[in-house]
Amino acid sequence: MIKREIPVYSPWISEEDVEEVRRATLSGWVSSSSPDVLSFEEEFAASIGSGRGISCSSGTAALHLSLRAAGIGPGDEVIVPDLTFIAPASMVVACGATPVFADVSDEDWNVTPESVSKCVTPRTRAVMAVHLYGNPADCEGLAEAAPGAMIIEDVAQSCGATRDDVNAGTFGSLGCFSFFGNKVITTGEGGMVLTDDPDLAARLHLLRGHAMSPDRRYFHAELGFNYRMTGMQAAMGRSQLRRMDEILSRKRKIAKLYANRLAELPELRLHPPGTASAPSIFWMYSILTPSRKVRDEMMRKLGMKGIDTRPFFFPMSSLPPFAGHPTHTPVSRELSERGLNLPSGPLLTESEIDFVTDAIREALGRSKRSKVTSITASVTARTRTLEAAATGSKRARANLPTRKGRVELPFQI
């Protein structure tokens, strides 16, 4: 197996995160009754600008709870982008409803009002507004395209994004977030639903905890789930949340460096930066290659150098579980074949970006641009920094490699 030296994503776990998890663990409040869970829900909802946060065990659970709380079930249709991760589509099926796949835009890779309006039928109950790869979707346009349908936002990949000063996750009736290890902030696994609607909040809360009656212990008028978050996860989430702005700022800097280094390769299309009123947060800095053949060959060549990448998602309508859903989604199919996610974690260093972009140039048959011949030093720096953070050891921190007499920080931009 090839050893990956530059992962496509590694989370930024700080010493404070580790200390908070330790505190939460030793408090004895390890499960969902922990006061950290309620505090994380309040702090996260306040930071995104929503009335209520209902934490849960994953982004997938957030989607499932949202669809169930919205009353979506057999006979209903939910419009889902054809180009997305599988969770929004599979949770529609988990509710007994039917996903209807809409094509995405060549410009920002999100579903468009035009494509959604073509999918509307009398059975349409909701639109799943997925904000893909950090790019904020046009929720207002989607709502106009499907009058009467509920907008459920999937913000798993775009936490912190805004459009016309409205935070992603607050436009729709329900906003679903993921705190998986590669997300903007992480709790290991974890998720959250945001809503301003007190009735929906009560339904989410009930369904998350086996639908057990709040007034009569062990009485269940219906069936629910155990989708609760632990106290340790919430403690980490609270600590990560305090660094969210810094993480987002690092992502912008990473995107700037990639864009700068790759600008002179006209055969590539670079991650759409969005507009002044709807900027991308560049969750995964992504590029479009000229063809699937070039993309696959580039992935292989980068992989040989220890650079981990991801292809874009398969269009949902091309996957076996959704066979038989008639769909015409040429843009999703084209993007899926040509798209590639580059390493994008917040600890990525400038020399690592040079190494990745040189490897891309070489894969396209161009000469190298920078003098970086090895990534060992920066990888070692990151590994040691993570170790220092993980152990909290002053010695480990003191052992960090130095450059010109100063401690090498994990991020050199």
Ligand X SMILES: Cc1ncc(COP(=O)(O)O)c(C=O)c1O
**What is the binding site for ligand X (CB under 6 A)?**
58-60, 84-85, 87-88, 130, 154, 156-157, 178, 180, 191
* Cβ closest to ligand X, residue 88 vs residue 279: 88
* Cβ closest to ligand X, residue 59 vs residue 339: 59
- Smallest gap from Cβ 29 to ligand X, in A, equals 23
- Smallest gap from Cβ 84 to ligand X, in A, equals 5
* Cβ closest to ligand X, residue 32 vs residue 349: 32
- Smallest gap from Cβ 46 to ligand X, in A, equals 22
- Smallest gap from Cβ 152 to ligand X, in A, equals 11
Q: Are 341 and 133 in contact (CB under 8 A)?
A: yes
* Cβ closest to ligand X, residue 151 vs residue 363: 151
- Smallest gap from Cβ 316 to ligand X, in A, equals 11
* Cβ closest to ligand X, residue 248 vs residue 363: 248
Instruction: Give helix 59-69 / helix 87-94 axis angle, nearest 10°.
Output: 40
- Smallest gap from Cβ 162 to ligand X, in A, equals 18
Closest by Cα among 97, 104, 163 to 130: 104
What's the token pair of residue 325?
A: 């859903």
Q: Are 410 and 382 in contact (CB under 8 A)?
A: yes
- List 56's β-bridge partners, or say none: 191
* Cβ closest to ligand X, residue 11 vs residue 59: 59
* Cβ closest to ligand X, residue 180 vs residue 314: 180
- Smallest gap from Cβ 121 to ligand X, in A, equals 24
- Smallest gap from Cβ 362 to ligand X, in A, equals 30
* Cβ closest to ligand X, residue 6 vs residue 185: 185
* Cβ closest to ligand X, residue 185 vs residue 257: 185
Q: What are phi and psi of 191, to 5 degrees?
A: -160, 175
Q: What is the SS3 assignment for the chain? A: CCCCCECCCCCCCCHHHHHHHHHHHHCCCCCCCCHHHHHHHHHHHHHHCCCEEEEECCHHHHHHHHHHHCCCCCCCEEEEECECCCHHHHHHHHCCCEEEEECECCCCCCECHHHHHHHCCCCEEEEEEECHHHCCCCHHHHHHHCCCCEEEEECCCCCCCEECCEECCCCCCEEEEECECCCCCCCECCEEEEECCHHHHHHHHHHHECCECCCCCCCECCCCCECCCCHHHHHHHHHHHCCHHHHHHHHHHHHHHHHHHHCCCCCCEECCCEECCEECCCCCCEEECCCHHHHHHHHHHHHHCCECCEECCCEHHHCHHHCCCCCCCHHHHHHHHHEEECCCCCCCCHHHHHHHHHHHHHHCCCCCCCCCCCCHHHHHHHHHHHHHHHHCCHHHHHCCCEECCEECCCCCC
- Smallest gap from Cβ 154 to ligand X, in A, equals 5
- Which residue of this chain has its Cβ atom nearest to ligand X in the complex? 59
- Smallest gap from Cβ 60 to ligand X, in A, equals 3
Residue located via tokens 């002044």? 276
* Cβ closest to ligand X, residue 113 vs residue 191: 191
* Cβ closest to ligand X, residue 102 vs residue 262: 102
- Smallest gap from Cβ 92 to ligand X, in A, equals 12
Half-sphere exposure of 308 (CA within 13 A, CB side): 15
- Distance from C-alpha of 130 to C-alpha of 168, rounded to nearest angstrom: 10
